[in-house]
Chain A
């Protein structure tokens, strides 16, 4: 049941965490402002529901990021993404970056269907911009092992996304032959 949580304490915490939390979410949604704002707001409302009942977490930012992550996973699981031109999202390239909202939606949809260990390594590398050495140090394995995990996770992601990317190519081809121009991002749901 609810406990009193001092307003000043929460506001200070909010001011301290809102920027890193927003950046965390924004990187995962390809900079889609409207979606990032919705997720940050939803995350904070969940914090206001939970913290008075269970007390403040030891690491509030980590807690907020985890909840935001769950909100995103739930969001992307429910929505089938818009197909993206494979040329804009070369999953074979280890430096690929889902930096548009549609590409991020597609990648997240695929991530929601992978194993947690694969998700963690892909997110750390592609969304949080960590180096292989940093991920290796954090997870206590060798850099070579991290590279292997990244490679396998990317291949798995590519397989998961293949039907949607193929659909994008077919749709783009159909549009082009239909004389309506070449849509870089074909929106079919």
Chain B
């Protein structure tokens, strides 16, 4: 029998799974922070790759059969095998949760989360599979920029974006279902305004992610059609990302604002220490600063894009 202060194995396994999924999701969207630096880096990278494009492509042809390609393939195969195992585990977990759901032991929310984790694991495996194919065809590391060249006529960048879009669409669907459920609970007075706003923010966040993927895909198509040059394509992607960041942080601010209102009432009633209110206010100030940074970045990007359009 379990010690009453010992966690249940099912709980620790589920939480580990959730953490791993969350870390992977966050690591995928990690990007350098300072606006000017990000823009300068994008411009420099693309400029250098254009200048040396011919040489680089020649070199990649030469290393096609070399040790470097073998090493790249081996390392990615290891990751791919792990991803496949993760998918197998996700399927098993999903089936277990499905049985519990059928027996009425868990609610719709847990079921939806399990479905999401499965979709995410499958998408990761698909992306790694595409990367393996790209290495086999190109002899170099996979390229993720929207201005990357086609590989043997194949557009790996768009294929990967489409996989990410499928995940984002699924996340949005689940969050929208959850919002509907919460709205009903709210109508029945079972959840407060803060709980509902949290789910509304999640829905808007997933909508933003989906739009960002659609935007990247559209920019990629414009670049491939020769409508915009490489540097401009990359700058537009940065602009999209800054916009998405700004939207996400604004939603977090709405929540923090509600929290502040609540804390102000609690402080006035003498239930909460002033310090807790100050912590909430500080978090709000941090979020305001993040929005300002994202806006600054957008401003820099717009000017840079405008200057480039005039030069064309």
A31 contact set on B, CB distance < 8 A: 4-5
B12 contact set on A, CB distance < 8 A: 18-19, 22
| CB contact under 8 A between A2 and B6, given known A18-B15, A44-B15, A48-B23 | no
A14 contact set on B, CB distance < 8 A: 15-16, 19
B20 in contact (CB, < 8 A): yes
B150 in contact (CB, < 8 A): no
Q: Are A7 and B4 in contact (CB under 8 A)?
A: no
A111 in contact (CB, < 8 A): no
The stretch of B28-36, B104-112, B168-176 that contacts the partner chain:
B28-36
Interface string of A74-94 (1 = CB under 8 A from B): 100110000000000000000
Q: In whole Å, how far is A62's beta carbon from the nearest beta carbon of chain B?
A: 18
B26 in contact (CB, < 8 A): yes
| Set B6, B7, B22, B266: member contacting A40, Cβ < 8 A | B7
In chain B between 254 and 305, which residues have their CB closer than 8 angstroms to a CB of chain A?
266, 271-272, 276
Q: Are A11 and B20 in contact (CB under 8 A)?
A: yes
| CB contact under 8 A between A41 and B23, given known A27-B5, A31-B4 | no
A57 contact set on B, CB distance < 8 A: none
Q: Are A40 and B4 in contact (CB under 8 A)?
A: no
| CB contact under 8 A between A5 and B15, given known A27-B5, A77-B272 | no
Q: Give A25 to B131 CA distance when docked, in angstroms.
A: 43
B227 in contact (CB, < 8 A): no
A45 contact set on B, CB distance < 8 A: 22
Q: Are B4 and A37 in contact (CB under 8 A)?
A: no
B193 in contact (CB, < 8 A): no
B11 in contact (CB, < 8 A): yes
| CB contact under 8 A between A48 and B7, given known A2-B26, A2-B29, A3-B30 | no
| CB contact under 8 A between A7 and B16, given known A26-B4, A31-B4, A77-B272 | no
| Set A3, A11, A23, A48: member contacting B6, Cβ < 8 A | A23
A40 contact set on B, CB distance < 8 A: 7, 15
Q: Give A45 to B26 CA distance when docked, in angstroms.
A: 12
Q: Are A7 and B20 in contact (CB under 8 A)?
A: yes
In chain A between 153 and 183, which residues have their CB closer than 8 angstroms to a CB of chain B?
none
A133 in contact (CB, < 8 A): no
B27 contact set on A, CB distance < 8 A: 4-5, 7
| CB contact under 8 A between A15 and B32, given known A22-B6, A77-B271 | no
B8 in contact (CB, < 8 A): yes
Q: Give A27 to B8 CA distance when docked, in angstroms.
A: 15
Q: In whole Å, how far is B173's beta carbon from the nearest beta carbon of chain A?
A: 22
B18 contact set on A, CB distance < 8 A: 41
Q: Are B19 and A23 in contact (CB under 8 A)?
A: no
A55 in contact (CB, < 8 A): no
| Set A1, A11, A52: member contacting B32, Cβ < 8 A | A1
Q: Are B8 and A7 in contact (CB under 8 A)?
A: no
A44 contact set on B, CB distance < 8 A: 15, 19
B99 in contact (CB, < 8 A): no
Q: In whole Å, how far is B23's beta carbon from the nearest beta carbon of chain A?
A: 5
B22 contact set on A, CB distance < 8 A: 45, 48
B154 in contact (CB, < 8 A): no
Q: In whole Å, how far is B249's beta carbon from the nearest beta carbon of chain A?
A: 11
Q: Are A74 and B276 in contact (CB under 8 A)?
A: yes
B24 contact set on A, CB distance < 8 A: 7
Q: In whole Å, how far is A69's beta carbon from the nearest beta carbon of chain B?
A: 13
Q: Are A52 and B5 in contact (CB under 8 A)?
A: no
Q: Are B7 and A2 in contact (CB under 8 A)?
A: no
Query: Which of A7, A19, A23 has the most chain B CB atoms closer than 10 A to its own CB?
Result: A7
Known A-B contacts: A2-B29, A48-B19. Give 13 more (CB < 8 A).
A1-B31, A2-B26, A2-B33, A7-B20, A10-B19, A11-B19, A15-B16, A19-B12, A26-B4, A41-B18, A48-B23, A78-B266, A78-B271
8 chain-A/chain-B pairs, Cβ below 8 angstroms: A3-B30, A7-B23, A7-B24, A22-B12, A23-B6, A36-B7, A45-B22, A48-B22
Closest 9 CB pairs of A and B: A1-B33, A22-B7, A26-B5, A31-B4, A23-B5, A2-B30, A7-B23, A4-B30, A37-B11
Binding site for A on B (CB under 8 A): 4-8, 11-12, 15-16, 18-20, 22-24, 26-27, 29-33, 266, 271-272, 276
Binding site for B on A (CB under 8 A): 1-5, 7, 10-11, 14-15, 18-19, 22-23, 26-27, 31, 33, 36-37, 40-41, 44-45, 48, 52, 74, 77-78
